[in-house]
Structure 1
Amino acid sequence: MKKILLFGLLFSFLISCSKDDSPANEGIYFPPNGSDVWETKSISDLGWNQDKLQPLLDSLQNNNTKSFIILHDGKIVVEHYFGTHTASSPWYWASAGKTLTSTVSGIAEQEGLININNKVSDYLGTGWTSAPLAKENLITCKNLLSMNSGLDDALGDDVSPANLQYVADAGTRWAYHNVYVKMQDVVAQASGQSWDNYFNAKLKNPIGMSGAWIQSGGLSVYWSNTRSMARFGLMIYAKGKWNSTQIVNENYLNAATNTSQNINQAYGYLWWLNGKSSYHLPQTQIQFNGTLIPNAPNDMFAALGKNDQKVYVVPSKKLVIIRMGDSADGTNFALSDFDNMLWGKINELIN
């Protein structure tokens, strides 16, 4: 009898030790791929303030929003479309899509195709900039992901060699610059595939996203429906997993969503970070003291795009929040006054 009991205890112990530690076993819900099914969770189940939902939606509508989603542990709590925009309507991610490039760069690194600490010219050859060769060879892939390449950010969106000119040594100056798109060329060259094909195979299809890269002003901009943006945010929230599949390495993702250089504390690998003591913004070399979005939780990190395209990820609150639309308060390139106002409304709902 004792032997049977001991065996039972040992068996239970071994089973508990072998359990998959995947997010699915931690209570995170993942919607099925290729389906419109997406489980929901009610505001009352979460103990949120139902009376504050309509003021939030009214504020979103009054600020040119087209779509808005709140996920809690992957399940939809709020999903609303404004005007003629629908669940199937595509919209552009603008610079929020930079985080797609960051993520796929991490996938390429985990597959051994690239090393982000290597210089860009290892993959693209020399002469991809107009910088002196010695200066060009200082620029690593990590510099592109961290926005500290040292190239001139005042010459417009064109990333041809003639427009990529030296200003400072790589790593010594932070400046928001479209040169990050060269990481797409790096991945394409290293993988022997087009950027679109590699992106589709490694990220878009595995997590069930819709959408496509569309050329605009010499840059490739991602367009999708709102739920596809939510799928991406959910995968990031789940530490790089989709169900039990590790899409992007968790260690890389941790680096991507923490300070990547010593100039702009609020910037990782193309991700914006809240809760830091200072930050820089696009098109300025000024350091601003204080946190990026005071009303948002300190652990929040975000993909921020022109005209207020937003992906907010808040691990401590189990939240992923999506906003697509036109500019709420005038043209902007990432952060705007709308972020803090919106988080004030969100706080009234969730607290």
Structure 2
Amino acid sequence: MKSTLLLLLTISLFSCSSDSDTANDNTNLPAEAMYFPPNGSDSWETKTAASLGWDESQIQPLLTYLEQKHTKSFIILVNGRIVMENYFNGHSATTPWYWASAGKTLTATVTGIAEQEGILDINDKVSDYLGTGWTSAPLAKENLITNRHLLTMTSGLNDALGDDVSPANLQYVADAGTRWAYHNVYVKLQDIVAEASNQTWTNYFNSRLRDKLGMTGTWFNSGEDLSVYASNTRSMARFGLMILNKGKWHNDQIINEAYVNQMTNTSQDTNKAYGYLWWLNGKASFRLPQSQLQFNGSIIPTGPNDMFMALGKNDQKIYVIPSKKMVVIRMGDAADGSNVALSDFDEVLWEKISAVIDL
């Protein structure tokens, strides 16, 4: 099975928890309140590994592994405070880097904000916003596809035709909701938000999310109409911290908690390890991009069961672990040659992290 998994994980794509009992296990957590760094400032509170009882002798092996695996930046937050922040291979705290498919989670979040504002409904048909003919599927089949299907990768459109999301390349395979398949058609949600808000996607994103969190970063077109985000590493950490805190930043509820819960839990019956463009650890089974095979067990067996993840090509990572009030960020080049969002790197990385933290 391992060899089959590795074969699947070499397929190229771009832009590409346990249950509540585990998530609510707050043993060994720091007692202090959640911290949020100020907007418009480089200041950020820190904690030492020693103060948290971590095994400091295992930190250097972790850092050595990260550097060997072409990492550019690595951050661990606990209760919002920086415990580890390291830069490698000429990267710095101010250098922007692309999120690849980890940025799908930004799209899912902003879609929820738009629904919260009452300008769209995720249960509406996509064609209610984009008009008919946005795919080449028969009209009756196209009209089955809702915004929720784009969020859950269950559009029923052909995932074997590459990243192009022009109508001619969006072809019917199965009725929406009956088949899980990782597909970049999710990017149409950005067009839906733009149409519903009567402004550009970038302007809406910046005003509703980026600026409120004090993030930096810009969207750029990677080709074939795929919109990819790039920012510095702390901006990625800010976003992960807001999601860890159930959509709240300081005293501002950016996105409602109910939607965050939906977004970070199983969203459909076919792939238990997938929410609204977030990957979920600790589930009984999972599926992977470009495959209809189902694998038993957790995606990252060495990682915490309640962890959920934003995963991008060449090992861009946001790991959120509610039971530890922890966010882990990794940016860089592919750990082992070009790969998709998930690889053996994740398993070994979490072995190294666990040696430090004793998860």
Whether TM exceeds 0.5 here: the answer is: yes
| Counterpart secondary structure, 2:212 | coil
Given that 1:95 and 1:333 are in contact with CA atoms closer than 8 Å, whether structure 2 keeps it comes out as no
Letter in 2 for 1:259: T
Structure with the greater alpha carbon radius of gyration: 1
1:124-157 per-position Cα deviation (integer Å, ceiling 9, x unaligned): 1110000000000000000000001000011111
CA distance in 2, matches of 1:115, 1:145: 12
Given that 1:49 and 1:348 are in contact with CA atoms closer than 8 Å, whether structure 2 keeps it comes out as yes
Letter in 2 for 1:246: Q
CA distance in 2, matches of 1:157, 1:217: 9
Deviation at residue 26 of structure 1 after TM alignment: 7.2
Deviation at residue 332 of structure 1 after TM alignment: 2.3
Report the equivalent of 2:26.
Answer: none
CA distance in 2, matches of 1:26, 1:173: 44
Q: Identity, % of aligned pairs? A: 71
Write the mapping of 1:1-351 to structure 2, written as runs, cut at 5 A: 27-218=33-224, 219-351=226-358
Report the equivalent of 1:14.
Answer: none
Deviation at residue 95 of structure 1 after TM alignment: 0.1
Q: Larger relative CO (CA 8 A, sep 6+): 1 or 2?
A: 2
CA distance in 1, matches of 2:257, 2:115: 12
5+ residue gaps, structure 2, are: 1-30
Q: Number of residue pairs matched?
A: 327
Letter in 1 for 2:337: G
Letter in 1 for 2:251: S
CA distance in 2, matches of 1:116, 1:330: 37
- TM-score normalized by the length of structure 2: 0.90
CA distance in 2, matches of 1:346, 1:217: 36
Q: Which runs of 4+ in 1 moved over 2 A?
A: 330-333
CA distance in 1, matches of 2:294, 2:32: 39
Give the root-mean-square deviation of aligned CA atoms.
0.9
CA distance in 1, matches of 2:338, 2:90: 22
CA distance in 2, matches of 1:207, 1:317: 22
CA distance in 2, matches of 1:85, 1:265: 36
1:215-253 per-position Cα deviation (integer Å, ceiling 9, x unaligned): 112211000000000000000001100001000111001
Deviation at residue 76 of structure 1 after TM alignment: 0.2
